[in-house]
Structure 1
Amino acid sequence: MIADEAGAKDILGPLWTSVVDEACANPTLPSPDRDRRTKTEATQNRRRTRGEEPVEELVDLANHPLAARAAAGVVAYARSTQPTGALPIAQLRIYAPGDSVVLDEAAIANLELVETLIGKRKDGSLLHVIDQTATAPGGRMLRRWLLYPLVDIAAIRRRQDGVAWLVERPALCDSIQQQLGRVADLERLAGKATLGVATPRDLGRLRDAIAQLPDLMDLVRSGADAFSAIGFGTAPASGDEPALWIPRLLDLKACADRALGALAKRLQGSLVDEPPSLLKDGGVIRAGYDTIVDDARRLADGGKEDILVIEEREQKRSGIPSLKVRYNRVFGYYIEITKSHLARVPDDYIRKQTIANGERFVTPELAELEKKVLAAEETLAAREAELFRAEVAAVVGVARQISCAGAAIAVLDVCASLAQVAAERGYCRPVVDDSLVLDIVDGRHPVIEAMLPAGSFVPNDCKLDPEAVAQLVLITGPNMAGKSTYIRQVAQISLLAQIGSFVPAKSATIGVCDRVFTRVGAADNLSRGDSTFMVEMRETASILAKATKRSLVVLDEVGRGTSTFDGVSIAWAVCEHLHDAIGARALFATHYHELVALAETRPRICNVSVAVREHAGEIVFLRRVVPGGANKSYGIDVARLAGLPGSVIVRSRQIMKQLEGGSLGGSFAGPQLTLGTA
């Protein structure tokens, strides 16, 4: 149960009432109070949950009994944790895996979409690079977009239209983000009001945020052009004057609801400009809004002024300059006099309490005034609380409209963020279609590019086309040359395209993927008793079981966790299965150069490698992906660069020569023993 993006229909089926009924009354559902629930309680819960508002009926859930029961379980648990107030449930949506790109836990982690593999930090993730949102709802929505990329081409293009419109208007985009920064989190504020935990300051922030909406809408509309394309804004009205249009996702129609304007006007009239954080602090209701509050406040404030007058008068009458009129909850108002001045205490003072450094007194006049002040303060506090509850109820009455406006603002914020990134980093608008082609020209890794000086990242092309000669691309080359970077950037570019973002490339055509699979890196799972190799095999098995022809598969050094012959055999068989049985688009990085031979027997497997240059015994990584396979991995050179001792490097080269020459007998063992005894 989540808020949908602007323009999407609420999926509230006719069985929603049944869902709530079942959640509130079915004793088999998980709920802390399930054994105590009665039909009367169920009715009360049902009313509170629905807020006694009519539910829009758009989709029949009769064909989804398990989904309805699952929703009922969620509502039941949420209801049990929030026994008062209405649940802030805006809509019920049916989630089907096919509605978005399926990303399993391994893919999300290996591609570092929302956090890094090392340190679990947002800084260094793809989300960190593209997140320039100005609001909290925008940040949450962008994260949701990234974890659930679209597969519907029309929806993707609507998002692209919104981003492109803002890319073409950089000054307007900057102004929109600045304006968005002044809008509070409408969704959360509406939710707090619905749950009955909103504070006066929350309502003040909500009022100020709603008051910003007309200016924000006018700002967006200032960039509108004459209608010239289908799918944008509203069709031209009849007549000579063309209508103005903006992308459908950015029209902010939800923010123009009259109920919001009426609420802002009401809160403006009832609440002070800067409400306190707590109701008990007082001073919540604006002067002139309620006569009872005004009268009580006038009496309370006037009584306090009279107390100051009494203090000054008694100081003069008694000749005690240190005389003070104070207050505490036990004794109320009293006169405090230090021991050094007790001899001057007037005879009409009544001793109330003796303290360490003096005594406390009261007078009939002070006691009478105290009664009036305290009565006025109690009346004021009770009346302000009553009026504040009425304002909260008014907010709850339009909570759905507030949430819809918040969702519309979040979409605008996300599109502005993606447009800002695209403009700053030179991203292009990809062509997203229903083909199986994945064609990227001069693609760049978005995260690594952001960390390097501008223009220093080496771009590379990638073309996958199962209908032609490049369904599976084998990438060979040295360690540290950039194979893993290359395959991950292709996956990240594909996902960016399917969230509606521009992508880091000169041009790109992305045939929609239904799933993105990754088998990258090495990690064990000691809690389950799985070795590194077992984890690798489990992930590979999952990929081969679930991948389809429309999937994108990214494999990095499959088979490296076991012996060479076993590893080569497994890697070889996996490639054949992907080619022959599944037909998925795949990138396979490996150091098993024997796999290069697959291109000779499998027509849709092609070889590429990451180029290096050898000069004077040194290697230079060119970071350029070129056609053809590599025949060396330069592992010893990388080990030398990593700082292994010179003796180890020398011995490694000796052993490598012997292995390459097939010398595995006594002549190999001798030098090894000699080195061990040196």
Structure 2
Amino acid sequence: MNKKYFCRKKEDTPLIKQYNDIKSKYPGTILLFQVGDFYEIFGKDAIICSNILNIVLTKRLNNINLAGFPCHSLNTHLPKIVNSGFRVAICNQLEISQKKEKNIIKRGIVEIITPGVTINESIIKTKENNFLISIYIEYKRIGVSMLDISTGEFFTTEDYKNNLLQYIKHFNPSEILIQKKEKEFFYKLLKNKYYTFLIEDWIFDYLFSYEKLTSHFKTNSLKGFGINDLKLGIISSGVILYYLHDNHHFKIKHISNIHRINKEEYIWIDDYTFKNLEIFKPFNKEGISLLDVLDNTSTTMGSRLLKNWILFPSLKISIIEKRHKIIEELCYDNTLRNFIKENLKKICDIERITAKIAMEKISPREIYTLHRTILLTEEIKNNIISKKIKNNITLIAKSILDCKYISEKIVNIIQENPPFQIEKGKGNVIKSGISKDLDEIRALYFSQKEHLEKLCYTEKSNTKISNLKIGYNNIFGYYFEIKKREENKVPNYWIRKQSLSNSNKIRYVTETLKNYELKILNAEQKIFSMEKEIFHKLIQYLIKNIKELQINSKIFAELDVLCTFSFIALENNYTKPEMNNSGKISILDGRHPVIEKKFISKSSYIPNDVFLDKKSQQIIIITGPNMSGKSAVLRQTAIIILMAHVGCFIPAKSAKIGLVDKIFSRIGAYDNISIGESTFMVEMNETANILNNITEKSFIILDEVGRGTSTNDGVSISKAIIEFLHKHKFRPLTLFATHYHELKEISFSLKRVKNFQVYVKKINDDIIFMYKLILGNNKNSFGINVAKMAGIPMEIIYRAKEILKILEKNEKNHYEDEYIFFLKKLIFYLKKIEKISYSLTNINKIN
């Protein structure tokens, strides 16, 4: 136990003793300790929070550091602490404070907040999942499980250990649970880039985890989820549920399913390729990514689903074609498409609303928003069905579950536009007519003025005291006040409380007045308690219907993405690709979806054709100078293939795309100085990853491989790689861009390798980039011309031309000398062969 977190001093007060006892059970957390209406923070925690929250740090008795903030400010301060990388334990008072009681108030932990286990909207990103990952390692295999508690999405899978980092980078978790014994391995692998939490090794147990999962899902086995054979996946999944319970998250009924990730059903794209193709993030801050182009979704649910579709493009033609058909239907019906788009903008994040309901952290305002959302979803459903068209969109609409009864329940209980929280004495959350007792107590509380005026009028009439008034102070509460000269009119049942000598007034109370005061004082708490109880019952009702809401949230997220794809297709002139199992890639007039966005006129972008197959044109070598568009052709081809598998239309005139199960790329040059890797080492690592993981349906783009070393080495490595890919049994389809013109000769000896060039037109001493891919090899690099275009001083340009002529002449002389030397050698060996042949002929004659 690490004692530095505690604040033990001589003769600790009962409060500090209680604090230390609770703190000892939750080491490594910031403990927010409720004292009345404040959360107080002690010791080292106080110093940390004072710096993070910019709040005052003071000293308590026994010189203990102390900081704090009002309980109502929790949602403001909590995100700042968690986002600073700390776990937070919230310790609340579990009983009402009685001022006369000397015993310490009972307190306990109600929740532990960590980066991966939170639904706080100030901590998590609305358009992104907030995944908690659990990893179990057993020899060379791993079990990996991912949970987003804010949506209820739960995934698991098994794989080889060397693929672990790809899962982590794909899901980008906020928190990772790891075995204690593997902490050194994870330290080297993750390099402090992720928030991790160590779990005791004994918890990673198969039977323990299996029981955890079946108990949570209330099933006898896990066969129904299709994960019964995933022993390592079951272990990692069970650890997630253990972690939730250990952090006091027991209300998690929205986690109602667990999905198996089958690699065979998705394209596997490594992190290098996502980065090289700028799928999620551009290289430059001013740039845009493919996600920026595609994400025109109307809902945060749709935005998250779109990213997941891009992360895991489908390999099932039936799924891809269904998406394509729906996009096509929406493209043809402008009225329906616009109606769906506009109404989706008005609906709330049903996924995260259901999570809040299950965890009982939903506000009245959010529940009322859910009511409005259900009405809108019903309107969308009815509008689609009313068209009476038998198509895929109608089938989607018919699959939307009827949730009007949920909406009616909400609107019958909750007042219109309620506040975010139930407040003491406000009584503005629950509708009138729901509870007779609540209505009566409200009537009493909100009619104080009228009731007191009536009581005052009655007493005036009975006593004939004309100047009688009712007043209030914190000492006596309500009282009657008269002038001294009227004292003889006071009835016997009045009780004298105070004489005011300076104002010549006397104050009295009566049993009736004190009883009414008691009712008023209790009314505020009663209204609060009764509204909370009714609200709690409503939440319990909604929890029973969470499944229907979750199903609808998935449907509307999917409808949002497909509607977005149809808008993008029309706006950018995208077309529907033809998907097949041919193993061929045929793209006519393909364009880069991001680059073309930079052109003012869409017709200014020069499209290109690409054809690849395993029989005649497996590998294309593309030559051309810098800035000519080689990399753009490579990237746009990979992106078009990716978009087609996601189910999106593509930037091309037409395309026939054979299913691709892996997309690999090696583009760009950069040093990884932090781990001592040079540009060339990074390049070779990425290339090795590609060559060692080729499959029958792989698609590869390689750009300038070997440029991180000498020309001879680079040419040698590039040639060897092309030969390797050509003779490989899987014959992966490959685009290979290079400056090495020496590689053009490979096509003479390797029949499935073809030379293409990005055409450059030379006029006198100037060049014009045509950005067009044509058959043949570019003989010139045009490096000096490009330098001239870039603004290099002409003095340098002239000198470079002189040096180039000398080099070309020397190179020519070198090749001539080499040729003569080769001929002499050849003649020498031919003469030797002739002599040996002559001798053998004579020997045969003698025999």
TM-score range, shorter chain: 0.7 to 0.9
| % same residue | 31
Residue 448 (structure 1) shift: 1.1
Provide the secondary structure at the position in 1 that maps to 2:531: helix
What is the match of residue 597 of structure 1?
745
The change in CA–CA distance for 1:657 and 1:45 in structure 2 (over 3 A counts) is same
In the alignment, the residues of structure 2 paired with residue 166 and residue 118 of structure 1 have an alpha-carbon distance, to the nearest angstrom, of 34
- State the 1:332 CA deviation: 9.8
Matched, 1:156 2:320: yes
Query: Partners in 2 of 1:432 and 1:303 — Cα distance?
Result: 74
Match of 1:670 in 2: none
Q: Give 1:73's aligned residue.
A: 239
Structure 1 position 605, deviation (Å):
0.8
Q: Find the counterpart in structure 2 of residue 297 from structure 1.
A: 442
Using the TM superposition, name which of 407-416 and 275-284 deviates more: 275-284
> Are 1:112 and 2:258 counterparts?
no
Report the CA distance between 1:589 and its aligned residue.
0.7
Residue 392 of structure 2: aligned partner: 246
Question: Is the CA contact 1:608–1:626 (under 8 Å) kept in the aligned structure 2?
Answer: yes
Residue 58 of structure 1 aligns to a residue whose secondary structure is helix
Q: Does the aligned pair in 1 maintain the 2:146–2:155 contact within 8 Å?
A: no
**For 1:323-362, what aligned pairs fall within 5 Å after superposition?**
none
- How far 1:664 sits from its partner (Å)? 12
Question: Is the 1:12–1:59 Cα contact (8 Å) retained in structure 2?
Answer: no
Equivalent pair of 1:149/1:499 in contact (CA under 8 Å) = yes
Matched, 1:634 2:798: no
Which residue of 2 is the match for residue 432 of structure 1?
579
Change in Cα spacing, 1:304 to 1:88, as seen in structure 2 (3 Å) is farther
TM-score normalised per structure 1: 0.80
Q: Does 1:487 align with 2:631?
A: no
Q: Given residue 170 of structure 1, which amino acid in structure 2 is its aligned partner?
A: N
- In the TM superposition, residue 210 of structure 1 has moved relative to its aligned partner by 1.4
What is the aligned partner in structure 2 of residue 263 from structure 1? Answer: 406
The structure-2 alpha-carbon separation of the partners of 1:637 and 1:270, relative to structure 1 and needing over 3 Å to count, comes to: same
Structure 1 pair 566/76, CA: closer, same or farther in 2 (3 Å)? same
Aligned match of 1:137 = 301
Superposed, 1:352-431 pairs within 5 Å as 364=509, 369-431=516-578
Given that 1:2 and 1:91 are in contact with CA atoms closer than 8 Å, whether structure 2 keeps it comes out as no
Change (3 A) 1:352 1:212: farther
Query: Counterpart of 1:554 in structure 2: which amino acid?
Result: I
- 1:655 is matched with which residue? 803
Q: Do the aligned partners of 1:524 and 1:530 also contact (CA within 8 Å) in 2?
A: yes
Q: Which residue of 2 aligns with 1:205?
A: 369
Report whether the alignment pairs 1:279 with 2:422.
yes
Q: CA deviation at 1:593?
A: 0.9
1:401-432 per-residue CA deviation (whole Å, 9 max, x = no partner) reads 11111000001000000001001111111000
Q: Which amino acid aligns with 2:669?
A: A
Once the two structures are TM-superposed, the CA of residue 451 in structure 1 deviates from its matched residue by 2.2
Kindly state the Cα deviation for residue 144 of structure 1 after the two structures are TM-superposed.
0.6
After superposition, give the CA deviation of every residue in 1:455-482 in whole Å (9 maximum; x if it has no partner): 2211111111112x21111111111011
Aligned to 1:508: 655
Map 1:549-628; keep pairs closer than 5 Å: 549-581=696-728, 582-628=730-776
2:841 aligned residue? none
| Matched letter for residue 339 of structure 2 | S
Amino acid at match of 1:287: S
Give distance in 1, aligned partners of 2:789 and 2:351: 53
Cα contact 1:271–1:286 (8 A) shared by 2? yes
Give the letter aligned to residue 71 of structure 1. S
Residue 308 of structure 1: how far off its partner (Å) = 8.7
Unaligned runs of 5+ in 2: 1-144, 149-153, 158-178, 183-196, 459-464, 488-494, 814-847
Contact 2:279 2:289 in 1 (8 A): yes
Q: 1:262 Cα shift?
A: 1.8
RMSD between aligned residues? 4.0
Distance between the aligned counterparts of 2:711 and 2:156, measured in 1? 56
The structural deviation recorded for 1:300 is 1.1
Q: 1:490 to 1:376 in 2, by over 3 A?
A: same
Q: Which amino acid aligns with 1:262?
A: Y
Output one character per residue of 1:16-39: Cα deviation in whole Å (capped at 9) or x when no partner: xxxxxxxxxx999988699999xx
Q: Which has the larger radius of gyration?
A: 2
State yes or no: 1:459 paired with 2:607. Answer: yes
Cα deviation, residue 552, structure 1: 0.6
Alignment CA distance shift 1:605-1:452 (3 Å): same
AA of the residue aligned to 1:266: K
Q: How far is the alpha carbon of 1:566 from its aligned partner?
A: 0.6
**Alpha-carbon shift at residue 154 of structure 1 (Å):** 1.0
Q: What letter corresponds to residue 311 of structure 2 in structure 1?
A: L
Q: Report SS of the residue matched to 1:176.
A: helix
276 and 166 in structure 1: CA distance in 2 versus 1, 3 angstrom threshold: same
Aligned 8 A contact 1:599 1:605 in 2 = yes
Distance verdict in 2 for CA 1:332–1:655, change over 3 Å = farther
Q: CA deviation at 1:585?
A: 0.5
> Following TM superposition, by how much is the alpha carbon of 1:651 offset from its aligned partner in structure 2, in angstroms?
2.3
- Displacement of 1:445 after TM fit? 0.5
After TM superposition, give the deviation of residue 54 of structure 1 in Å. Answer: 9.3
- Offset, 1:79: 3.0
Contact 2:330–2:566 (Cα < 8 Å) also in 1: yes
Describe the superposition over 1:517-551 as per-residue Cα deviations: whole angstroms up to 9, x where unpaired.
01011122122211111000000000000012311
Relative to structure 1, is the Cα distance of residues 625 and 311 closer, same or farther in structure 2, using a 3 angstrom cutoff? farther
> CA 1:308 to 1:602, structure 2 compared with 1: closer, same or farther past 3 Å?
farther
- CA positional deviation for 1:88: 2.7
| 1:340 alignment counterpart | none
Letter in structure 1 aligned against 2:597 = A
SS in 1 for 2:433: coil
Aligned to 2:843: none
Bigger Cα displacement from structure 2, 635-644 vs 139-148: 635-644
Q: For the Cα contact (< 8 Å) 1:11–1:58, is it kept in 2? A: no
CA distance in 2, matches of 1:509, 1:49: 46
Following the alignment from structure 1 to structure 2, what is the Cα–Cα distance between the partners of residues 521 and 318? 95
Query: Structure 1 regions of 5+ residues with no counterpart?
Result: 5-9, 14-25, 226-243, 336-342, 666-678
Shift of the 367–34 alpha-carbon distance from structure 1 to 2, 3 Å rule, reads: farther
| Aligned pair partner of 1:186 in 329, 345, 350 | 350
Q: Contact 1:82 / 1:195 at 8 angstroms: preserved in 2? A: no
Distance 1:213 1:44 in 2: 38
Query: Partner of 1:673 in structure 2?
Result: none
Verify the 8 A CA contact 2:577 2:656 in the aligned structure 1.
Answer: yes
After TM superposition, give the deviation of residue 256 of structure 1 in Å: 2.1
Amino acid at match of 1:135: T
Q: What secondary structure, in the 3-state scheme, does the structure 1 residue paired with 2:632 have?
A: helix
For residues 582 and 608 of structure 2, the distance between their equivalents in structure 1, rounded to whole angstroms, comes to 22
Give the conservation status (yes or no) of the 8 Å contact 2:209–2:234. no
Shift of 1:312: 13
- 2:606 alignment partner AA: V
Q: Who is 2:433 aligned against?
A: 288
Deviation at 1:92, TM superposition (A): 1.0
Question: For the residues of structure 1 that align with 2:612 and 2:282, how far apart are their CA atoms?
Answer: 27
Contact kept in structure 1, 2:298 and 2:560, CA below 8 Å: yes
1:276 & 1:110 partners in 2: Cα distance?
Answer: 48
User: CA deviation digits over 1:45-104, x for unaligned, max 9?
Assistant: 879944x68999635533221222222122222333343312531311111222200011
CA distance in 2 between partners of 1:291 and 1:62 (Å): 53
Question: Which shows bigger deviation, 383-392 or 639-648?
Answer: 639-648
Moved more, 160-169 or 634-643: 634-643
Alignment of 1:35-74 (within 5 A): 49-50=216-217, 58-74=224-240
In structure 2, C-alpha distance between the alignment counterparts of 1:495 and 1:81, rounded to whole Å: 40
How far 1:485 sits from its partner (Å)?
A: 0.8
- AA at the equivalent of 1:450: K
Go from structure 1 to structure 2 and tell me whether the alpha carbon gap of 1:177 and 1:350 turns closer, same or farther (over 3 Å shift). Answer: farther
Alignment-derived partner of residue 544 in structure 1: 691
